[in-house]
A and B are shown apart, each in its own frame.
Chain A
Amino acid sequence: MRRILAIARKEFIHIMRDKRMLGVILIMPLLQLFLYAYALSFDIKHLPTAALDLDHTEQSRQYISALQQSNYFTVNRVLNNYGQVDGIFKSNQDQVVVVVGSGFGRDTTAGRAGAVQVLVDGSDANSAQLGQTYSGALSRVYGAKIAIAQYEAKGASVSNVGALTGNTRVWYNPEGKSAAYFIPGLIVVLVTMVTVLQTANTLVKEKEMGTYEQLIVSPISRIELMVGKIAPWALIGAAEILIISLIGIVVFGIPFRGSVLLLAVASLLYVICTLALGLIISARATSVEAANQLGSLVSFLPTFMLSGYIFPLSSLPWVLQFLSYLYPARYFMVVTRTVFLKGGGLSVLWPQLAALAVFAVLMTTFAAFLYRERA
């Protein structure tokens, strides 16, 4: 115990005295958080919009001004006929055209659903989807049943646009806020990068400094050394998760619906996995550079690609889907999203927790096995 504490204390001193490392641990994740969640936001506000009012009633004008006030749409112009739509899209003036059908006023007054058609410039898939989602949400708010039609700007003519009655409902994240979806995932990515990279460095650095041989001639067991090295980083990883979660909740207003304890346990298990992964790299890497490169390769790419952070796992080729099962980020990603957004408890998340626990044990054992007691 005393030796473990000695190692852990020494690691803390290394961290505190290394300004660059402090920057990497503290500033980089926050920077990325704001970059991803803010600047690269997939939320679209003030979507350039044209309205085509075929009804010309009090009710249709009300609906269009409701669109304007929603913040999601900026109604730049009001059109007079369908013929203008193609030109609007082709010249990239607006991305969405909201068509209020004739009879809208009559129908809504009579308590029937008024027909609204939303034409979206599909060449920007992201805006297209969000435009649909927003107008759908807005129509529900307005209490009108709408027909959604998709318009492909490139080469498609207005006559080909089939009117389709849609009733899209996005659960848990009704406004389609991407921050809500991204931040729980970002927690996984950032924590992985910090922990894997730092532990990947730790043993190699000692080898390069020649201090590793001093550790070998000391009566310390490999488990003591590993625990001492992992402990400070486990704390830092936990703090990191806490900070990002708090910022997500306070600054970006993402919901937190589940159990803190469940998230804490899952975080701990996951951080042990990533730290062990770092140690595995460290035990075998021949230089600090090699450890860094291997560390980024092993932490960055798979966490992005194989965790479901960016791409839904079900849309991946089967080889990658298979690989994703071998990478613990997949399980932790499900946990963070479920805990934050759905509030799911142990009854739904036990398979993920079990998987994380198995990985934690396997990877730590493997790391201990790889770490040799001789130089």
Chain B
Amino acid sequence: MTVVSQDTELAIDARGLSKEFRSVLAVDDISLEVPRGRVFGLIGPDGAGKSTLIRMLCTVLEPTSGDAFVFGNSVVSNPHEVKPRIGYMSQAFSLYGDLTVAENLDFFAELRGVPKSEMAARSARLLEFSGLTEFASRQAQFLSGGMKQKLALAATLISEPDLLFLDEPTTGVDPVSRREFWRIISDLHRHGITVFVATPYMDEADRCDEIAFMTQGRIILRDTPAGMRRRVPGRVIEVAVDRYREAMTLVRTLPFIRSVEVSGELLRMLVDQDACEEDCEVALRSTLEGAGFSVGSIHPAATDLEMAFATLIPAAGELLDTSDEEILAVAE
């Protein structure tokens, strides 16, 4: 079979992709290039349009306008060339609950034309790899949440796709399984597979080579995780202080504090060094102690992505799926 597409360096090349649902613009004119071999993370609040974007890229949804090329093939006019090269794992469990683990794998292997001679070996390898070997004859509906996700991934991988679309693959999965899942993704990445993953978790975004932040149907920021953090103006410090909730109210009024949040028993804040006349730490300690708080250690901390987005994207903080209690942006 001769394929007309010349293999491009780009795994995904979206041009002005839009999707409208009953006059609601779920995806608004997105152009995006993802080079081969990347693990590309898509983050953003619920309803940002992440799933819609992914479903258009993997030929499930037809774009209202624009087009996207996957390995050079248009998802609009040439979806049949796209399908054999991609795998798609949707947000909801998408296998047959009444089929066993092995039957599910076999079904997708047959459906996606895995050579007969390779089927047994591949399925054994994937079962091994996902730790499901001993559950091979169990019906999928009786697996735990984490095992279901691993099975879904295994079924997606059976055809050895070059590009993997994962839509919030670890939502509702326990932390151990999540780590396990990402170990598998890293393995795939080493084998040169391009991964496009939507996730609500910042720690997962941190594992990507590159991330894009999506909100209201648009991608408004795109960078490496480190690049995202570097964009944050100022530096992060953590302060141990008693009555930290009251202390936070006070800290928030200081001109050199850009944002402050509670992190465990500590206050974590973003300080603007330029706004301090002397050392910010000293100024902070004297202000707090002057107000009668007892201040413990003050030490620098790493900028996390959550704080980065809270700062970089006005109003994004309240939309983000935050594990911390509060993120407060202080207007300058």
Q: Footprint of B on A, CB under 8 Å? A: 2-3, 5-7, 9-10, 13-14, 17-18, 209-211, 213-220, 373-375
Instruction: Determine how close the nearest CB of chain A comes to the CB of B103; give it in whole angstroms.
Output: 7
Complex Cα gap A219–B86 (Å): 10
B79-103 residues at the A interface, CB under 8 angstroms:
79-80, 83-84, 86-88, 90, 92-99, 103
Q: Secondary structure of the A side of the interface?
A: helix
Number of A-B contacts (CB under 8 A): 72
Given known contacts A6-B107, A14-B96, what 11 new A-B pairs fall within 8 Å (CB)? A3-B113, A5-B110, A10-B107, A213-B60, A214-B88, A214-B90, A214-B94, A216-B59, A217-B87, A219-B113, A374-B61
Q: Which residues on B sit within 8 Å (CB–CB) of A210?
A: 90, 92-94
A209 B99 Cβ-Cβ under 8 A: no
Contacts A/B (CB < 8 Å), 30 sampled:
A3-B111, A3-B113, A5-B110, A6-B107, A10-B99, A10-B103, A10-B107, A13-B99, A14-B98, A18-B98, A210-B93, A210-B94, A211-B95, A213-B88, A213-B90, A214-B90, A214-B94, A214-B95, A215-B111, A217-B59, A217-B83, A217-B86, A217-B88, A218-B108, A218-B112, A219-B84, A220-B111, A373-B79, A374-B60, A375-B55
What bracket does the count of chain B residues touching chain A fall in? 20 to 34
Q: Is B206 an interface residue (CB 8 A)?
A: no
Given known A5-B110, A6-B107, contact A213–B96 (CB-CB < 8 A): no
A209 B97 Cβ-Cβ under 8 A: yes
Q: Is B204 an interface residue (CB 8 A)?
A: no
Task: Pick the residue among A9, A18, A214 that contacts B108 (CB under 8 A).
Answer: A214
Q: Which residues on B sit within 8 Å (CB–CB) of A217?
A: 58-60, 83, 86-88
A6 B92 Cβ-Cβ under 8 A: no
B80 A219 Cβ-Cβ under 8 A: yes
Q: Footprint of A on B, CB under 8 Å? A: 55, 58-62, 79-80, 83-84, 86-88, 90, 92-99, 103, 107-108, 110-113, 139, 155
Instruction: Determine how close the nearest CB of chain B comes to the CB of A196; give it in whole angstroms.
Output: 22
Q: Which residues on A sit within 8 Å (CB–CB) of B94?
A: 209-211, 213-214
| Most chain B beta-carbon contacts within 10 A, residue among A214, A216, A218 | A214
Q: Which residues on A sit within 8 Å (CB–CB) of B84?
A: 219
Task: Pick the residue among B79, B80, B86, B96 that contacts A211 (CB under 8 A).
Answer: B96
Complex Cα gap A217–B58 (Å): 7
Residue of chain A at shortest CB distance from B116: A2
A6 B61 Cβ-Cβ under 8 A: no
Instruction: Determine how close the nearest CB of chain B comes to the CB of A21; give it in whole angstroms.
Output: 10
A17 B60 Cβ-Cβ under 8 A: no
A6 B55 Cβ-Cβ under 8 A: no
Q: Which residues on B sit within 8 Å (CB–CB) of A13?
A: 98-99, 103
Instruction: Determine how close the nearest CB of chain A comes to the CB of B194; give it in whole angstroms.
Output: 15
Complex Cα gap A7–B108 (Å): 10
Task: Pick the residue among A213, A218, A374, A375 that contacts B111 (CB under 8 A).
Answer: A218
Residue of chain B at shortest CB distance from A6: B110
Complex Cα gap A374–B61 (Å): 5
Given known A375-B60, A375-B61, contact A219–B112 (CB-CB < 8 A): yes
